[in-house]
Amino acid sequence: ESLQAVGERIDGTLQGFHLSADEARQCIAYMDSLGVGVVELPAYPANRYGQALNRDLIARAQAAGLALEFAAHARCVEADVRAADEAGFRRVHLYIGTSKIKQATARKSIAQIAELAFQSIAHARELGFTCVRISTEDAFRTTLDDYEAFYTHLAAALAAGGLAVDGIGIPDTVGLSTLRDLGDRILERSVLDLMS
């Protein structure tokens, strides 16, 4: 389950809806009662309110003996990974853009983007994160060729560094994929095989 949104504001409120600290705590307790295993929270270092709330939610859940775990939703940026660690997360869900739009705005090639992802994964492992997931934030705006190239470069870097990820995410951030598109991302280009 995710208690994060792309439109998070600097004061910690989420675009489109707002959860007070008390409502967020109630949501966590309710999700635990449903058997939800992992709750994702945003880890943006510029958002001091959000970071303080993350620390509070994690501490209260541990004190209450809740079974669920928390994962930081973090960009492949050193400051985000460090902020997640400082807030007390032990799981991190990293994301990075790979579409032609993201390549142009970042002024980076797919190989360079894969290297940034690798550096963030390595940093997370150095900090002792027990679970690291990587996602391409705009998977369905990314061509299959670029998607395959990203994971091929990343898999090679991980193998050379003796590292691994615990999972990959394939988010449809713009709501345009079909089941066939998802199948293409998983099966045709053997992304799961590349990462194993």
pLDDT of 20 > 60? The answer is yes
Q: Using CB atoms within 10 A of its CB, is residue 179 exposed (0-12), middle (13-18) or buried (19+)?
A: exposed
Of residues 78 and 48, the one with the higher pLDDT is 78
pLDDT at 6: 44
CB 60 within 8 A of CB 102: no
pLDDT tens across 128-164, in order?
999 999 998 888 888 888 988 999 999 999 999 999 9
- Ramachandran quadrant class, 91 (left: phi over 0; alpha: psi -120 to 50; beta: rest): beta
- Which pLDDT score, from 0 to 100, does residue 1 have? 45
User: What's the first-to-final CA gap in the chain, in angstroms?
Assistant: 25
pLDDT of residue 188: 54
| Residue 68, pLDDT above cutoff 90 | yes
* pLDDT tens digits, 161-180: 999 999 998 887 777 888 88
- The whole-number pLDDT of residue 12 equals 54
What is the structure's pLDDT at 3?
57
How does residue 16 score in pLDDT terms, banded at 50, 70 and 90? very low
> Are the C-beta atoms of 58 and 87 separated by less than 8 Å?
yes
- How remote is the C-alpha of 159 from its chain's centroid? 21
Report the distance separating Cα 118 and Cα 178, nearest Å. Answer: 29
Question: What percent of the chain has a predicted confidence (pLDDT) above 90?
Answer: 58
* Dist CA 119 CA 79 (whole Å): 12
More confident residue, 72 or 46: 72
pLDDT average, residue stretch 88-92: 96
For the chain, give the mean pLDDT. 86
pLDDT band of 4, cuts 50, 70, 90: low
Q: What are phi and psi of 103, to 5 degrees?
A: -60, -40
**87-121 core/surface letters (b: 16 or more CB in 10 A; e: else):** bebbbbbbbbbbbeebbeeeebebeebbbbbbbbb
Q: What is the mean pLDDT of residues 109-138?
A: 96
